Amino acid sequence: MPSLLEALSEDVGAAFAALDLPRELGGVIESDRPDLAPYQCNGALAAAKQAKRNPREIAQAVTDHLTTAHPELKIEIAGPGFLNLTPPAEAYAARANAIAADARTGGEASGEPIKLMIDFGGPNVAKPMHVGHLRSSVIGDCLQRLMRFRGHEVISDIHLGDWGLQMGHLITELQDEQPDLPYFDAAQDGPYPDQPPVSIEDLSRLYPQASAKAKEDAARNERSRKATAELQAGRPGYRALLAHFIAVSIQALRADFDALGVSFDLWKGESDVNDLIPELVEDFKVRGVAEQSEGAWIVRVARDSDKKELAPLILVSSAGAALYATTDLATILERRREQDPQLILYVVDLGQSDHFEQVFRAAYKAGLAQEGGLEHVKFGTVNGADGKRLRTRAGGTFKLADLIGQARERARARLNEAGLGAQLSEAEFEAVARSVANAAIKFSDLSNVRTTNYIFDLDRFVSFEGKTGPYLLYQAVRIKSVLRKAADQGLTAGDVTVGHDAEAALVRRLDSFSGALARAERDRAPNVLCEHAYGLAQAFSGFYAACPILPEKDEAIRASRLKLAETALRQMELVLGLIGLDVPERM
Ligand code: ARG
C-alpha cells in the first residue's frame, strides 16, 4: 500500500497532468507550516514559471480539478500559489490499519535488491581499539542492519589491520624478550606449539615498546622492517607467530564487539590476501596498469579534472614491500572471486579519503571493479570538549573498552537514581545498564550527520531527557508498560479510527517510515533513522498526553488507541533495532 505522501503525490500529479502540466510537479511534501496544513505542494509555482503564467491561477485550476476528483480532500491556496493539503480522517485510519497489519510496519524493502559487502570496524591487531574504530563499528553495523532490512544481501567483513610494520615490531620485540622460542630459528620450519606465546596484555605492551624504540633508533626500525619483509615472504616461524597474534587479538576484540552488540560475517584481514599479491602485481605490470618509478611500482591515478593533486598509488615500494593500498587492491580481487559483490562500502574515517580515492581509481583502471562499485562511506572525528580529537586525561588515545566501561558506569548511576536498582535482580539490572550505555554511545554517534565531527559528552549522552538514546528507550519502555497494563485488564486492540489531531500526527510519523528508510539508504545516513525514531517518540508523547488510552470509556476508541500504541511500539523497536539498540522491559 502506498504511503499517504505517495498517494497524495499521485492524486495531485494526476490533476497537474489533466491540466497539461508536468505530472512530477504534483509532488507533495510534509508542510513546513504544520499549523496551516500537514502537507503541501509547491508545484504550481514551478509550473507557472515554465508556462509563464500566473501561479495562483494554476493553483486554482489544480484545486478545482482535485476537488472534483477527491471531494474528501481539504485544499487551500496560500501565498503566491502553495497548495495546502489535509487528508480526511478516513485516509489516516486506513493507512494506520494497513501499517498495523503489515509485518514490516510500513517499512518497505528496496525495489532493486543487490549483493554488497561492507568493510567496517577495521581494528589493528595488537593495538587496542580507539574511538575512531568505534565510529566505524557503529556506523557500519547500522548500515548492515539497514541494508538487510531493505532486502539486500549483505556480507560484512571486519578487515583487520594485520599486515604492516607493526607485525615486524611485535616479532622483533618478542624475540628480544624470549629469544629461545622456536619461532625465531630460521633453520626450522615447525611444528610450532599450539598455545600462543603471548597474551593480549603482552601484545599491547610489546607494540608501543617496539615502536618507541624504533623512533629513536634507525637500526632497531630496520630490524622490524626486515622481519616484516620476511614475514610477507612467508618465513614459517613468523607466519606461525602471526597466526597466534591474530587469534589472541580476535579473542579480545570479540569481547569489545559483543559488549557493543556489533557483529561481522567475516573476520578476515589484510594478511589473508598475501598470496594474491604477487599475481596482482604481475598482472598490473604486464598490462601496463603499473609503471616503474624511482625503483618502486606505482599506479598513476590523477585525472585532469582533479582540483587537488592526487599522488600515485604505490603498489610495491622501492624496498620491494607491498603496502596498505596493495592489500586493499588484493582484497578487492579476492572479494570478486569469492563473493562477487555489486558494491563494496568502506566505512572508514575521512582522513583516509585520498587512500581510498587512489585504491578505487586503480581498481577501476585495472578492471577489478565496475566504476561506482566501490564507495568510501566517510565519517568525522570524535572530539573532546576542547574541540580536538578525544584523548584521555593523560593525553593518550581513548580506548574503546574504557569508553564502554565509563558509559556503563553512568548508566548504572542514572538507573539507580530512577530507583531501578531496588526493583531488579542484579543480572537484570546489568542487562538494562548495558542497553542504556549502548543506546547512549550509539545514538549520540549515529544521530550526527556522518561527515561532521562531534564532541563527546557522556553526561549528555546518558541523560534520559533530550535527543538521546536513553530517552528513546525510555519512551519505548513507557509504551510497553501501557500495553502490559492493558493486557492485565484484559483489554484488546481493534480497528484504528482517527478523531484527534494528535492521532493524525502519530499516523503521519508512522507513514513517513518508508521514506526515511529510502533516504537513509540513499545517503548511507544513519542520522535519518535517528531523526525518524525521535520524531516517532515525540509524536507518541503528544498522542499519549492528548488521548487517554486505559481511562477511555468508549470501547471502540480505546481499542483503536491501543492499536495505535502497539503499532507505534513495533515501528519504534524496529527502527531502534536498525540503529543497533535493544529496548528493555523496564528502566
Ligand atoms: N586498519 C585501518 C586503521 O585502523 C582501517 C582499515 C580500513 N579498511 C580498509 N579496507 N582499508 O586505520
What integer is the mean pLDDT of 258-277?
Answer: 96
| Cα of 445 from ligand 1 centre, angstroms | 19
Domain ranges of the chain: 4-87, 164-264
Q: Which of 156, 334, 348, 349 to mutate to test the pocket of ligand 1 (most atoms within 8 A of CB)?
A: 348
Task: Give Cα separations from 387 to 247, 400, 445, 454, 457 (angstroms).
Answer: 37, 19, 16, 8, 11
Q: Whose CA is nearest to atom 7 of ligand 1?
A: 122
Buried b (16+ CB within 10 A) or exposed e, 532-570: bbbbbbbbbebbbeebebeebeeeebbbbbbbbbbbbbb
Computed on alpha carbons and rounded to an integer, the radius of gyration of the chain in Å comes to: 29
Predicted pLDDT at 129: 81
- Is the dihedral angle over the CA atoms 209, 213, 215, 220 positive or is it negative? negative
What integer is the mean pLDDT of 85-92?
Answer: 97
For residue 513, give the nearest of 440, 465, 568 by alpha carbon: 568
Given the CA of residue 359, which atom of ligand 1 is nearest to it? 11
C-alpha–C-alpha distance, residues 245 and 254, integer Å:
14
CATH of domain 4-87: 3.30.1360.70
Three-state DSSP state, 460: helix
Is residue 299 scored above 80 in pLDDT? Answer: yes
Predicted pLDDT at 385: 87
Q: In sequence order, what are the residues at sequence separation of 6 or more whose Cβ sits closer than 8 angstroms to the Cβ of residue 322?
A: 232, 274, 277, 281, 315, 316, 330
Predicted pLDDT at 396: 78
> What is the widest separation between alpha-carbon atoms in the chain?
92
Do strands 296-299 and 74-78 pair parallel, antiparallel, or not at all (unpaired)?
A: unpaired
pLDDT for 513-533, tens place per residue?
999 999 999 999 999 999 999
Q: Is 376 near ligand 1, meaning CB less than 6 Å away?
A: no
Given the CA of residue 124, which atom of ligand 1 is nearest to it? 1
What integer is the mean pLDDT of 302-313?
Answer: 96
pLDDT for 439-489, tens place per residue?
999 999 999 999 999 998 888 899 989 999 999 999 999 999 999 999 999
Q: Is 43 near ligand 1, meaning CB less than 6 Å away?
A: no
Q: Is 213 near ligand 1, meaning CB less than 6 Å away?
A: no
pLDDT for 501-512, tens place per residue?
999 999 999 999
Task: Give Cα separations from 391 to 257, 279, 398, 400, 418 (angstroms).
Answer: 21, 42, 5, 11, 31
Is residue 428 scored above 80 in pLDDT? Answer: yes
| Cα of 216 from ligand 1 centre, angstroms | 26
Task: Give Cα separations from 496 to 96, 100, 126, 510, 551 (angstroms).
Answer: 7, 9, 57, 13, 17
Is residue 393 scored above 80 in pLDDT? Answer: no
pLDDT for 215-260, tens place per residue?
999 999 999 999 999 998 899 999 999 999 999 999 999 988 999 9
Q: In sequence order, what are the residues at sequence separation of 6 or more whose Cβ sits closer than 8 angstroms to the Cβ of residue 424?
A: 432, 586
Given the CA of residue 160, which atom of ligand 1 is nearest to it? 1
Q: Which of 117, 120, 124, 133 to mutate to test the pocket of ligand 1 (most atoms within 8 A of CB)?
A: 124
CA dihedral angle for residue 539, residue 540, residue 542, residue 548, rounded to 10 degrees: 150
Q: What is the pTM of this model?
A: 0.95
